[in-house]
Chains A and B, each alone.
Chain A
Amino acid sequence: MRHTRSGLTLLEILVAIVVLGVGIAALVGTSGMTSRMLGAAKVETRAAQAASSRMEALRLAAQSTSPRCSSPAFASGGPVLAGGMTESWVVAPSGKVRRVRVIVTYLTVKGTRTAELETSMSC
């Protein structure tokens, strides 16, 4: 009886080590997760900016001609690969107000993601 109470058993120590290990792993895992999220945020922002820049380019093409919207550049296009992202855009073929949609597809560790932007442009 006395003999068994004299110290910690191997099992107790193992359990303590496992608990400590889980704690430290969680701590280290947080940094890793934050790193991944920061990276993901960067890519998402890039995709959103790419979509917005494409939209602006289409707007520029639309207002570059007289009458408006007659530029061949103001039409559906893509896919264009730029900076690891695929951009494609759809422009309504006719009308006084044209619907314009830009789709940016990019690859993440969790698979393919898309960023979409839609607006109307007056012609």
Chain B
Amino acid sequence: MSQGRGRGYTLVEILIALVILLVVAGAMHRLLLSTQRLTRLQARQSELQSALRAGALVVANELRELGPHDLLRLAPAAVTYRAMRGVGFLCQTPTPTTLRVARQGFTGHRDPQAGRDTAYVLLAAAESTAVWQPLAVTGVSAGSSCPGAVRSGIGVTVPSTPALLGLEPGTPVRFTEVMELRLYQSDGESWLGARSVSAGEPVQPVIGPLAAGNGLALEYFSGAAIPTSDPSSIRGIRVTLRGQVDGGEREESLTTVAVLRNVARP
């Protein structure tokens, strides 16, 4: 008796085993599929979160360096501004067409660039009557030398300006670039885009994809934290970035505040 039963399974036993196996395998298949879907969703959500964090950092850092006079065009989802690119000091008396800026003491994102930047040279030193002369940068030689102990410098060629004659070494020079930040559409997706207006560049994507329509929201407010559209009274900008994952299944948003640092002392 024991020999007969020990040799194999009956058809019924195999059928039952098969059915159970199918049910279990089916359940596992569904579980794995949903886990896979969830994992993808979570990966995208995590990417979106880090994109929003990076975007908030980039936009706020760019706007903080400005003053009210640097805000050129304002819109709810776009802003054109005079971005700070570097600050330095003259290391010798300039000619009408050439400025020499000491490398030592020069701070900024990058060196000045010809055809892109504007140099602002301080002509009158008194704070109440500060006059900054804007000069288009037409040439830059990064390897220029300065006289004296401060050796290395940046040579900047500008259109002939007699007012530069007689400026003393140590005169501050600011280099700025007109930039635009905006929400823009590309291939049916919305991105936070940036472009150099002064270099006439097309918009480049910075962060995204963001939510269409309200992916970037800029609110301008005054010193009393009241919304304003008058550029001269703007003291801060509230930046909101929004993004979506899988057609709105998950939503993320991040709001950050940038108070303008380059405000003349009242």
Contacts and interface: CB of A to CB of B under 8 A. Distances in A.
Contact of B256 (A35, A53, A65): A53
Contact of A42 (B49, B235, B266): B49
A30 B35 CA distance: 9
A45 B53 contact: yes
Nearest to A17: B24
A59 B42 CA distance: 37
Interface in A3-46: 3, 5-7, 24, 27-28, 30-31, 34-35, 38, 41-42, 45
Nearest to B235: A60
A42 B45 CA distance: 10
Given A31-B39, A65-B266, A66-B265, A57 B225 contact: yes
Pick the most buried of A2, A7, A24, A60: most chain B CB atoms within 10 A of its CB: A60
A52 interface: yes
Interface stretch (B1-9, B72-80, B186-194, B198-206): B1-9
Interface residues of B, number: 33
Pick the most buried of A5, A7, A66: most chain B CB atoms within 10 A of its CB: A7
B10 to A, nearest CB: 12
Interface of A: 2-3, 5-7, 24, 27-28, 30-31, 34-35, 38, 41-42, 45, 49, 52-53, 56-57, 59-60, 63-66, 68
Interface of B: 2-3, 5-7, 9, 28, 31-32, 35, 38-39, 42, 45-46, 49, 53, 56, 223-225, 235-236, 252, 254-259, 263, 265-266
Please provide the 3 A-B residue pairs with the shortest distance between their CB atoms, ordered closest to farther. Answer: A6-B6, A66-B266, A64-B223
